[in-house]
Structure 1
Amino acid sequence: MTDNKHLQGVYTIMPTPFTPGGEVDLDSVSNLVDFQIEAGIHGLAILGFMGEAHKLSGRERRAVIARVTERVAGRVPVWVGIRAIGTPATIEQGIEAQELGASAVFAAPIDVQADAAIFRHYQQLQAALEIPVLIHDFPENFGITVSPEVVARLGKEGGVHYIKMEEPPVNVKTTRILELSDGQVHVFGGLGGTFFLEELERGAVGTMTGFAFPEVLLRIYELFRGGDHQGAARVFDHYMPLIRYEFQPKLGLALRKHTYFRRGIIASDHVRAPGANIDPVTVAELERIVRRVGFQFDVTGPQAVRA
């Protein structure tokens, strides 16, 4: 299996850019990759739920994976989201991602609420791949709960050592997983970064989320890992109004896309149906908050973070 020591830090879940007419915009994909790497992110995650993977055709999925891995050119790891009805189809998606250059996959659970079935699904998926598998634990969208006991068993017996954990209360579950797994499972946070500081304090190795100002998450991570926990808290507290506003249910993706669009990184903020687009009043609210925390929309590259 690929060396997985690099699986830590801030991994940006990239949205999938579309043209105003709704076609996949590969040029904007390239621009978004370049921006994230310039910002200093530790890795990229594509085709997650916020990447609208469930709205893409198989051909479009392959095109996005190929463009991202080609543009990254080995500079950072690329993780690919996979989700299918059953284990064989999930394995097929995983092998495809691996062949197209993915460094790891993050996989939704099988659609069966049974511990034995969930364990078997992830164990078989990892056995079929040469790259690491991360459990994507997001019951609000997947409808399946992955218990801490199953996660710990997968770490000890199933060869699966990572989880993107997005089941509130996230901090309680993070602690439980780490207690049960005896160091065999490493936790990444998510949920827009809304609990990033507390996740780090509980022992998470990083975060995997799509906040459209990754500079902030990177600064929090760097300060915390450097031992300046108070500094990390100051940055977290300062930018929380923007983190909170962007992670609104049903609107989060549209807000992120609009931010990248206004920053000049992608050519359109189009969200494919049935996803929601945002109205002018919401746009004005977002722009006020961005200015309030000290950022600007007319700066294309990474911006300085207040500590």
Structure 2
Amino acid sequence: MPAPLNAQGVFTICPTPFDDTLKVDTESIKSLVDFLLDTGVTGLAILGFLGELHKLSNAERRLVTDTFIKHTKGRVPVWVGVRAHGITGAIEQAQEAQDAGSDAVFAAPLDNAGDALLFDYYKAIADAIKIPVVIHDFPDSFGTEIRPEVVARLGKEGGVHMIKMEEPPVGPKISRIRELAGDEAMKIFGGLGGMFFLEELQRGAVGTMTGFAYPEVLVEIYNRFAAGDQVGAAAVFDRYCPLIRYEFQPKLGLALRKHVYQQRGAIKSRAIRAPGMKIDALTVKELEATIARVGLSVTGKGRQAIQA
């Protein structure tokens, strides 16, 4: 089912599971899909920065895409990440994702590209496929700033109508994009581990695309906010902020999330490929103490009850 332009809610950025020998673990992909759908997420986003796309061979990328999409079986939309050094490579990845059954692609920008090239790049991808293109705006990781004026032009002239916006301070940029583009031309998703999810929603974001090993927390925040219960959404956000903050540590976030997913039974191994930092025993203790402090279980199977 094609991802509609009014897509909203919580799209989880999925890690790519490896076994202890660092091979792609397709059985863990399947168990991860089932686990995430049980938490109530709106959709799955694969092969993003968290999904270690840049560490996979082309064959592995196709294997991961096929396994996620086939096992999801249309139960929720699956969006596939695109990251390449040029327009031709990005179009090839986007077309492969479309052919595999992806509902949308979210594309990282070209390295150090200026405004004109960024517009041409995203428009070329949108022109080459029939499924929606989502801008992945994450300057801290990609090294490229996508200005609100470019985003607005893409929404009005480039056939690109969604953005995963991860450039702090998030509030002013969300407001500026909405001012320039209007809500019909550009739908905004937040990210950054959910660190600013409440503020993103208050500024007009339609949801979040991010990795977090307790997605049911973000789902509860979104559902309460969407139902008009802003006080309740804020209460849930405030309760779980210590964990959201701890998990979204630069360089360690992926290892922390894979540890929790392993402990919760979603994947078999917490292995990550180089380059990537691993966590030591003291960090594990800190993480698990933070999880307990907010009232969650690190070993509890299935969706956990979320409290305000």
Q: By the TM > 0.5 criterion, same fold? A: yes
Partner of 2:296: 295
Any conservation in 1 of the 2:5–2:162 contact (CA below 8 Å)? no
CA RMSD of aligned residues (A): 1.1
Q: Which amino acid letter does the alignment assign opposite residue 186 of structure 2? A: V
Query: Cα distance, 1:6 vs. partner?
Result: 5.1
Any conservation in 1 of the 2:212–2:244 contact (CA below 8 Å)? yes
Partner of 1:38: 38
Q: Which amino acid letter does the alignment assign opposite residue 157 of structure 2? A: E
Partner of 2:93: 93
Query: Cα distance, 1:34 vs. partner?
Result: 0.3
How far, CA to CA, are the matches of 1:228 and 1:141 in structure 2?
34
Structure 1 runs of 4+ with >2 Å offset: none
Q: Which amino acid letter does the alignment assign opposite residue 210 of structure 2? A: T
Query: Cα distance, 1:264 vs. partner?
Result: 1.3
Partner of 2:109: 109
Partner of 1:260: 261
Any conservation in 2 of the 1:186–1:204 contact (CA below 8 Å)? yes
How do 1:185-196 and structure 2 match up within 5 A?
A: 185-196=186-197
How do 1:237-256 and structure 2 match up within 5 A?
A: 237-256=238-257
Partner of 1:18: 18
Aligned residues: 307
Structure 1, residues 245-303: CA drift from partner, whole Å, max 9, x if none? 00000000000000001111110111111101100000000010111111112212010
Change (3 A) 1:41 1:74: same
Stretches of structure 2 that go unaligned for 5 or more consecutive residues are none
Q: Which amino acid letter does the alignment assign opposite residue 185 of structure 1? A: M
Query: Cα distance, 1:114 vs. partner?
Result: 1.2
How far, CA to CA, are the matches of 1:48 and 1:259 in structure 2?
19
User: Secondary structure of the equivalent of 1:223?
Assistant: helix
Q: Which amino acid letter does the alignment assign opposite residue 42 of structure 1? A: T
Stretches of structure 1 that go unaligned for 5 or more consecutive residues are none
Q: Which amino acid letter does the alignment assign opposite residue 132 of structure 1? A: P
Q: Which amino acid letter does the alignment assign opposite residue 10 of structure 1? A: V
Structure 1, residues 140-168: CA drift from partner, whole Å, max 9, x if none? 11111000000000000001000000011
Partner of 1:217: 218
Partner of 1:49: 49
Any conservation in 2 of the 1:112–1:118 contact (CA below 8 Å)? no
User: Secondary structure of the equivalent of 1:281?
Assistant: helix
Structure 1, residues 27-77: CA drift from partner, whole Å, max 9, x if none? 010000001111110000000001001001111110110001111101100
Any conservation in 2 of the 1:11–1:45 contact (CA below 8 Å)? yes
How far, CA to CA, are the matches of 1:182 and 1:233 in structure 2?
26
Structure 1, residues 180-232: CA drift from partner, whole Å, max 9, x if none? 00221110000000000000000000000010000000000000000000000
How far, CA to CA, are the matches of 1:3 and 1:142 in structure 2?
25
User: Secondary structure of the equivalent of 2:50?
Assistant: helix
TM-score w.r.t. length of structure 1? 0.98
How far, CA to CA, are the matches of 2:210 and 2:196 in structure 1?
11
TM-score w.r.t. length of structure 2? 0.98
Partner of 1:269: 270
Give percent identity, aligned residues only: 59
2:146 aligned with 1:133: no
How far, CA to CA, are the matches of 1:222 and 1:281 in structure 2?
35
Q: Which amino acid letter does the alignment assign opposite residue 231 of structure 1? A: G
